[in-house]
Structure 1
């Protein structure tokens, strides 16, 4: 059993594959279950933060585009529409539990520049002190290179570092990291704990994500490296089972845990 008695600030990242159906439409039932768990942990006294993907996919669906856009201008247009839809849904459901939400849209400039990074950290602190729940996404409507090459797994790790979080939990469409592709090999075994990111693990992770998202297991290894550098443990769990968050806060192993050595100072 893990000792998570000191964990107070938790970043939860949810991907497009968890938020939407293959049609691109929002998975309302899944979102409601996730929000209920996060709200319950918030009420228990945890500082909860949510990093949410899905703006481009949701926007493409709402605009009735025949497929996920590929040009920069259409990605940015879809993101602008989809972000409004996502925040509307989040705000409405969290409000049912008496929780105010706050939208934070970031680019890499906001976290790489020291002064701006401090401002972001202070904003997170102020929101959490007031009981609001920050919901973070990349600012896709103004980002350029980030849309093409970035991913919200990395963003979630950066948010965990900047906010001085104690734990990052990434929700995906698999139960965790396996020793082979479980979609192709039914004998693939779940790797419960990872202490170090190796080339062998990178080879296992591969690269491709789902059709509607930009991330895969490889991007989660990148996020894990960023977290482990700052002594922040990270879980990868199945987004179809958000109640697993309760197991984690009770110190139980679930999915795959990326466990760093003794924590250095967080930046």
Structure 2
């Protein structure tokens, strides 16, 4: 069975300082359907944003962000569990840092945990462990984390569900004639060096971190699909029906 990784960002999971329950349920429903064809691993953001729903701290301060993540992680996982319980799907929480990819021993451990969870029909839910770590130990955004996870667990494809519905040939906020690039085989250096432009106060990336993730995926001879996390039609059509109507596929020629 093929293996895929979903990555979902804070902007999709939260709305006006609350968990976006309907969007999360739609995501869970899609994952359950996709599990009929693929082994699935979920990389999720949202712990800090979830923490802010309970505790209003300044996330720009490092220690406050850690506190928000500590508060928010159980809130986030509880939300996931209640929705996956509807479908009888068990979940496992896995927290990683950049260090886990720099050590053969650490890497082997999380690889085995994910493999064993999938063998037992348990959905691994991965997030970055930014609670007890230094900035040097962190990726800083889950786009990079999901790209590395995809490679090290030998996934066939990374699906990034975002607040944008694909990679455009120009800024769609400034140019109404901008068009989605349906297939991208190469990313230019100047594209990777653009200014980071997150669309949500709890997001840490924007299009640039997604392009950086795509570059990592392309370098590892894998594929990445970028599409909307607000309307999951494109993801469902692509994964279930094999139809590419919307979204951007990054793949080598």
- For normalisation by structure 2, the TM-score amounts to 0.94
Question: How far apart in 2 are the matches of 1:195 and 1:29?
Answer: 34
1:128 aligns with 2:118: yes
Question: How far apart in 2 are the matches of 1:240 and 1:201?
Answer: 25
- Counterpart of 2:34 in structure 1 is 41
- Counterpart of 1:14 in structure 2 is 8
Match of 2:198 among 206, 209, 218: 209
How much is the aligned-residue C-alpha RMSD, in angstroms? 1.7
Question: How far apart in 2 are the matches of 1:200 and 1:140?
Answer: 30
Question: How far apart in 2 are the matches of 1:148 and 1:216?
Answer: 17
Q: How many pairs align? A: 250
Give the structure with the higher percent strand: 2
Shift of 1:162: 1.2
- Counterpart of 1:63 in structure 2 is 55
1:107-256 → structure 2 map (5 Å cutoff): 107-145=97-135, 150-202=140-192, 206-210=195-199, 211-249=201-239, 250-253=241-244, 254-256=246-248
- Counterpart of 1:32 in structure 2 is 25
Q: 1:149 to 1:97 in 2, by over 3 A?
A: closer
Secondary structure, in 3 states, of the residue corresponding to 1:62? coil
Question: How far apart in 1 are the matches of 2:232 and 2:136?
Answer: 28
Contact 1:91/1:101, CA 8 A, preserved across alignment: yes
Contact 2:4/2:159, CA 8 A, preserved across alignment: yes
Question: How far apart in 1 are the matches of 2:220 and 2:213?
Answer: 11
Deviations 1:35-88 (A, max 9, x none): 00101111x1411111000111110221134xx511111110000111110000
- For normalisation by structure 1, the TM-score amounts to 0.89
